[in-house]
Amino acid sequence: MGLKHIAKAAGVSVSTVSRALAGSSRISEEKRREILEIARMQGYLDTRVRRATEAGLHSIVLAMSEEMMQASETNFTSWRILESLREECANRGIRVDPVLCPGERLDPDQVIAGIEASDAEAVIVHFDENPALIRRLAKVGRPVALLIGLDPTSRVSSVGIGNTYATMLGTQHLIDLGHRDILLLSWTGRFTIRRREAGFREAMRDRGIEDAERFILRLSGFAPDIVDREFGAWLAGQGGRLPVTAIQCLSDNMALRAMKCLQDAGFSVPGDVSVVGFDDSFAGQIAHPTLTSIRPPLEEIAITALDELELHLRRPQSYLARRIELGCQITVRDSCKAR
């Protein structure tokens, strides 16, 4: 549908339609609303937006660690995001130039060298928020977006989830079920993990607990063997009696291993202790009991990042780096019950 069809339906001239779409003050607000509604109903506005985004982005550099490419239960979140990125790039005809760094962390020198060797218009950095790397990314002269990472200085854009509110959702769910003694199972990690911890402290503060830090158990990592060893040691040190009635975990794999440790120690989930995870993984959906978990919109993260890079390309002079956080939900299953 074009301007002529909209003009005919609205009973006005093509020039009037053009002025309405451009926001001109030379027509009445009532007529403008009528024209915009007709344009929306005929699909013209969607087509206009799509055409506006088709012109910019044809290729990206994707920087990520080789560790994130390994198939493992700890890479569930990463794989879902990468698969949606692969699919969306294919749909949009965007070429992907990968830069893979050995190990778990990105090497700033290797990433910058990979960017300089590519003619791609923009850069996506997956699962890394190294300040030294971010400082250099801010100077590459191309649009940059971090996936599931945060730049506290807002020098480059980032797309992730609302980590603080997401953890508040889980903790508040446990509070609503009547739990008062709640453990947060966390790990020493990235800025995003510290944001999740902030959500726990905020929820606990809302129920009158100012020193929520004493309810946080930080492990050295979130891998299954670390959870078995370190959470298992904490559990063994409780003398057969749990000081909490609920545990909020900051990843599903932590929650699943914690549940196994609890069950091996003779505790019932959710009979003795309720457990909430974070990721809403398939493993949690088929666990026994099935795991209540925070569900992040992982499939939307890569799509939103590509849209953000498009916006940057269309506004090269006026664009400012943005931090985009997508909302999360909680999926209630069998691992929690009321006190």
pLDDT tens column, 78-136: 888 999 999 999 999 999 999 999 988 899 999 999 999 999 999 999 988 899 999 99
pLDDT tens column, 304-313: 999 999 999 9
Asked if the domains at 3-54 and 59-161+299-326 fall in one CATH topology, the answer is: no
Residue 50 has a pLDDT of 56
Asked if the bond preceding 289 is cis, omega within 30° of 0, the reply is: yes
Stretch 52-78: mean pLDDT, rounded?
Answer: 77
Contact predicate 248/215, CB 8 Å: no
pLDDT tens column, 140-163: 999 999 998 888 889 999 999 999
- Tell me the fold of 163-296: Rossmann fold (3.40.50)
Q: What phi, psi does 276 have (nearest 5°)? A: -120, 135
Report which of 284, 283, 265, 261 is spatially closest to residue 335, judged by C-alpha positions. 284
Stretch 39-43: mean pLDDT, rounded?
Answer: 81
In the chain, where the domains are located:
3-54, 59-161+299-326, 163-296
User: In angstroms, rounded to a whole number, what is the distance separating the alpha carbons of residues 275 and 170?
Assistant: 10
- Tell me the fold of 3-54: 434 Repressor (Amino-terminal Domain) (1.10.260)
Reported residue count of the chain is 339
User: In angstroms, rounded to a whole number, what is the distance separating the alpha carbons of residues 114 and 118?
Assistant: 6
CATH architecture designation of domain 59-161+299-326: 3-Layer(aba) Sandwich (3.40)
Distance of CA 155 to the CA centre of its chain: 19
pLDDT tens column, 211-243: 899 999 999 999 999 999 999 999 999 999 999
The distance in angstroms from the start CA to the end CA of the chain is 59
Residue 53 has a pLDDT of 47
pLDDT tens column, 184-200: 999 987 888 999 999 99
Whether 201 shows a pLDDT value over 60: the answer reads yes
